[in-house]
Amino acid sequence: MRLASGCCLTFLSGLLVLSSPAWAALGGVRDSVEADTLALRAVRHVEVRNLYQVHQLELSSGVMIREYVAPNGSVFGVTWKGPFKPNLNQILGNYFARLVAAGLEPHPDHRFLQVSDGEVLIESRGRMRAFSGRAVVARLMPAGVSANEIQ
C-alpha cells in the first residue's frame, strides 16, 4: 500500500511540474509571453521595433515589465519598474542565481546591485515604492542592438 501511495505522489508531482506555466524569463522564448500575461493577470502591449519586439506587461500592482524578443524568438532582455519588486526569479529564470550570489557579496550601496560577468548584465535598484532594473544576455541580442537600448 505504501509503495502504491509513493508512486501516486511521484506521478502527481511529475504532472504538476509538467503543467507549470512556461515563463518568458530571460533566455526563454516568445511563445511563453502569453503565459506570463495570463498568469500575472497583466495587460500586454507589443511594440515592433526595427530589430526586435518589446512586450510590455502592465500589472494591476503598478509594476511594468518589458520583455525584449529577438527575431529568432529568444527573450534577450527584460526590464521592470514599479512600486513593488516583481518576482525576479520568474523574470530572470536561470540567471536569477547570479543575482542572488552577487547580493551575498559585500557591496557598498544596498539600493543598487549589479552583475556583469561577460554573459549577462543585471542591474537591480530600488527603495520602498520605487524599484527598477534590467537584465540583458549579450549573446542573444540581435546584431546591431546595444545593451543601452534595454531600458
Residue 14 lies in a domain: no
Residue 3 lies in a domain: no
The domain in which residue 41 lies consists of: 22-149
Residue 8 lies in a domain: no
Alpha-carbon distance 22 to 38, whole Å?
11
Supply the pLDDT for residue 24.
64
Global pTM reads 0.81
Residue 77 lies in a domain: yes
Q: Over the stretch 44-86, which tens digit does the pLDDT of each residue have?
A: 999 999 999 999 999 999 999 999 999 999 999 999 999 999 9
Q: Are 59 and 40 in contact (CB under 8 A)?
A: yes
- Provide the residue type at 113 as one letter: L
State the cell numbers at 10.
511521484
Residue 65 lies in a domain: yes
Residue 35 exposed, middle or buried by CB count within 10 Å (0-12, 13-18, 19+): middle
Q: Point out the least confidently predicted range of 23-27, 45-49, 98-102, 112-116.
A: 23-27
What's the total number of domains in the chain? 1
Q: Taking the mean position of all CA atoms in its chain, how far away is CA 3?
A: 39
Q: Point out the least confidently predicted range of 36-45, 74-83, 139-148.
A: 36-45
